[in-house]
C-alpha cells in the first residue's frame, strides 16, 4: 500500500500509524509531508512543507489565517504533483482537517481516498471561548472565529471519511457531517505507559527527588488558560503553604498553546508568579521532557492534576491514567467522558481553586486508601483506548476506504 500522511507538525496524531506502516518488513510505501524539519522517520520518505510568501497587510484580519492555509495547501499541491510526475500515486492520503495542507489534495488526486483527522470545530458557544465568565468574546472575535472554520468545512466536504478521537470532540462538529466521521481514538501505548514495578523518584537535570516524595504533577503543551494553568497555580500556592513536604513538578513549555494572552504580558507563568506567594524551592518547571523522562515523572507522581476547559482532550490525561496516576481533574465535558468521580478519579470545579487544593490534599492524605482509583484509571484506558486494540481498527478503516475505491491491498 502507498500511503501519504500530511500534517504541519508530524508525527502528531499519526505517530503510531507511521511507526507501524513504515517498518522495513511492512511492504508499504509511506510518505510524510510536514513543516517539522526534525521529523525524519526511518523507512519513510519525508517531504518538508515550506510555504512561500507572507500575508499582505491589506488582507482582511478574518482571512489572514486562511491566507496562510492556502499558501501551505499550494506547497502541498506542488509536492504531490511532483510525486505524481514520478509515477507515485497513493492508495490513500491521511491529513489533519482544517489546517490547510489537504485543501487541494482532491485537485491532484481526485480518485484517491482522503481520510481526515477531525480534531476540533471552533464555536463561540458551549466550548472553550465562552466557558470563563470573566472572558468576554466580542462580536468581532465571534465573527473571526466563525470565519476561521471555512478551511475546515472545505476539507469536510472534500474528504471521503473522517476520524475523531472522542465523543465530546465529535459532538462539536456540524451534525450534517457526523455520518462521515468515525469515533476512534489515537490509542494509548499501555505497555509503555505503565506503573513502575518499584517506588521511583524523579531524576532530571537540576532536579532530584527521592522515591516517596509527596509529588504533585501537572502536564500540558504550554501554560495557558485553556488548560487551567492559572487555576492550577492558585491551587499550588495553597498546597505549598499547607504541605511543607510536598513538591510540584510542571511539565510543559512556557508558551500559550491555546487561547488568549494573560491580562498582563505574554506569559501566564510570569503573570501568576508575580501575583502569588510561591515557595519556589519546591515548585519545579522542567520544560518539555523526553518520553522516558516524562514517564518517570508520572510514575513518581502521588497526585496528577489535569485541567481543561471544554476543548480537545489531551494525550497526557490518558497517559497519566494508563500509568495508574491518582487523577484530580476538572469537572468538564471532555473529562467526564473518561472519568467518573469517585470511580476512576476525582473531579473538581475548574474555577474553585480552594476546593481543588483541598481535594488534592485529601488525595495525598488518603495514600494507599485510593489505590482502587489508580487501578480503575489504568483499567479504563486498557478497556477503551489501548493501542493494541485501537491500531488494528485504524488499519481496518484505512484498508476499507481503499477497497471502496477499488484498490487491491
CATH of the domain at 6: 3.40.50.2000
Judge whether 196 lies within some domain. no
Given a contact cutoff of 8 angstroms between Cβ atoms, the answer to whether 228 and 314 are in contact is no
Given a contact cutoff of 8 angstroms between Cβ atoms, the answer to whether 333 and 310 are in contact is yes
The pTM (predicted TM-score) of the whole model is 0.95
Please tell me whether residues 228 and 162 are part of one structural domain: no
Please tell me whether residues 312 and 393 are part of one structural domain: no
pLDDT in tens, 107-144: 999 999 999 999 999 988 888 888 988 877 889 988 99
Judge whether 197 lies within some domain. no
User: How many CB atoms neighbour CB 184 within 10 A?
Assistant: 17
pLDDT of residue 72: 93
Distance of CA 376 to CAs 146, 380, 385, Å? 40, 6, 13
Please tell me whether residues 51 and 153 are part of one structural domain: yes
Which alpha helices (H) appear in 148-290, and where do they start and end? 150-158, 167-171, 229-242, 268-275
Judge whether 56 lies within some domain. yes
Please tell me whether residues 217 and 358 are part of one structural domain: yes
383 CB burial (10 A radius; 0-12, 13-18, 19+)? exposed
Please tell me whether residues 17 and 105 are part of one structural domain: yes
C-alpha closest to that of 128 among 279, 308, 251: 308
Judge whether 192 lies within some domain. no
Please tell me whether residues 177 and 275 are part of one structural domain: no
Judge whether 195 lies within some domain. no
Q: How many domains does the chain have?
A: 2
Angle CA 168–171–173, to nearest 5: 125
E strands along 326-375, which residues? 327-330, 346-348
Please tell me whether residues 154 and 273 are part of one structural domain: no
Please tell me whether residues 52 and 93 are part of one structural domain: yes
Residues making up the chain, counted from first to last: 409
CA distance 219 to 228: 11
pLDDT of residue 407: 59
Residue 345 is classified by DSSP as B
CA distance 68 to 99: 9
Please tell me whether residues 214 and 160 are part of one structural domain: no
Please tell me whether residues 133 and 81 are part of one structural domain: yes
What 290-294 contacts at long range (C-beta under 8 Å, 24+ apart), as own/partner pairs, is: 291/192, 293/204, 294/219, 294/251
CA distance 130 to 142: 10
- The boundaries of the domain holding residue 227 are 202-385
Judge whether 52 lies within some domain. yes
Please tell me whether residues 227 and 363 are part of one structural domain: yes
Judge whether 193 lies within some domain. no
Please tell me whether residues 373 and 397 are part of one structural domain: no
β-pair partners for 295: none
Cell of 392: 488494528
The H or E element that residue 219 is part of is strand 214-219
Residues of the chain scoring pLDDT < 50: 408-409
Judge whether 194 lies within some domain. no
pLDDT of residue 5: 97
Amino acid at each position: 500500500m502507498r500511503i501519504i500522511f500530511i500534517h504541519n507538525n508530524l508525527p502528531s496524531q499519526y505517530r503510531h500509524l507511521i511507526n507501524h506502516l513504515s517498518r522495513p518488513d511492512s511492504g508499504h510505501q509511506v510518505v510524510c509531508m510536514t513543516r517539522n524539519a526534525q521529523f525524519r522517520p526511518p523507512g519513510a520518505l519525508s517531504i518538508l512543507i515550506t510555504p512561500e510568501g507572507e500575508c499582505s497587510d491589506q488582507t482582511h484580519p478574518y482571512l489572514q489565517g486562511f491566507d496562510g492555509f492556502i499558501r501551505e495547501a499550494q506547497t502541498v499541491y506542488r509536492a504531490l504533483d511532483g510525486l505524481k510526475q514520478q509515477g507515485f500515486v497513493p492508495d490513500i492520503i491521511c491529513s489533519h482537517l482544517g489546517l490547510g495542507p489537504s485543501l487541494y489534495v482532491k485537485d491532484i488526486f481526485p480518485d484517491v481516498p482522503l481520510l481526515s483527522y477531525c480534531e476540533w470545530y471552533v464555536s463561540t458557544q458551549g466550548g472553550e471561548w465562552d466557558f470563563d465568565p470573566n472572558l468576554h468574546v466580542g462580536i468581532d472575535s465571534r465573527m473571526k472565529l466563525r470565519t476561521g472554520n471555512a478551511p475546515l468545512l472545505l476539507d469536510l466536504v472534500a474528504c471521503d471519511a473522517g476520524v475523531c478521537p472522542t465523543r465530546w470532540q465529535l459532538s462539536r462538529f456540524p451534525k450534517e457531517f457526523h455520518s462521515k466521521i468515525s469515533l476512534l481514538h489515537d490509542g494509548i501505548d499501555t505497555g509503555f505507559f505503565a506503573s513502575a514495578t518499584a517506588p521511583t523518584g524523579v531524576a532530571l537535570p537540576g532536579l532530584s527527588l527521592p522515591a516517596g516524595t509527596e509529588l504533585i504533577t501537572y502536564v500540558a503543551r504550554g501554560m495557558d488558560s485553556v488548560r487551567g494553568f492559572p487555576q492550577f497555580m492558585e491551587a499550588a500556592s495553597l498546597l505549598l503553604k499547607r504541605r511543607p513536604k510536598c513538591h510540584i513538578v510542571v511539565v510543559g513549555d512556557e508558551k500559550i498553546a491555546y487561547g488568549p494572552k494573560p491580562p498582563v504580558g505574554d506569559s501566564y507563568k510570569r503573570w501568576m508568579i508575580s501575583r502569588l506567594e510561591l515557595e519556589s524551592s519546591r515548585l519545579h518547571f522542567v520544560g518539555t521532557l523526553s518520553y522516558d523522562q516524562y514517564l518517570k515523572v508520572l510514575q513518581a507522581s502521588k497526585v496528577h492534576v489535569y485541567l481543561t476547559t471544554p476543548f480537545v482532550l489531551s494525550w497526557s490525561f490518558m497517559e497519566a491514567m494508563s500509568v495508574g496516576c491518582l487523577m484530580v481533574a476538572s469537572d468538564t465535558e471532555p473529562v467526564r467522558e473518561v472519568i467518573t468521580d469517585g470511580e476512576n478519579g476525582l473531579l473538581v470545579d475548574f474555577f474553585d481553586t480552594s476546593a481543588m487544593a483541598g481535594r488534592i490534599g485529601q488525595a495525598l492524605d488518603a495514600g494507599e486508601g485510593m489505590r482502587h482509583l489508580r487501578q480503575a484509571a489504568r483499567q479504563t484506558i486498557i478497556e477503551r483506548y489501548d493501542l493494541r486494540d485501537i491500531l488494528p481498527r485504524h488499519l481496518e478503516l484505512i484498508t476499507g476506504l481503499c477497497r471502496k475505491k477499488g484498490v487491491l491491498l
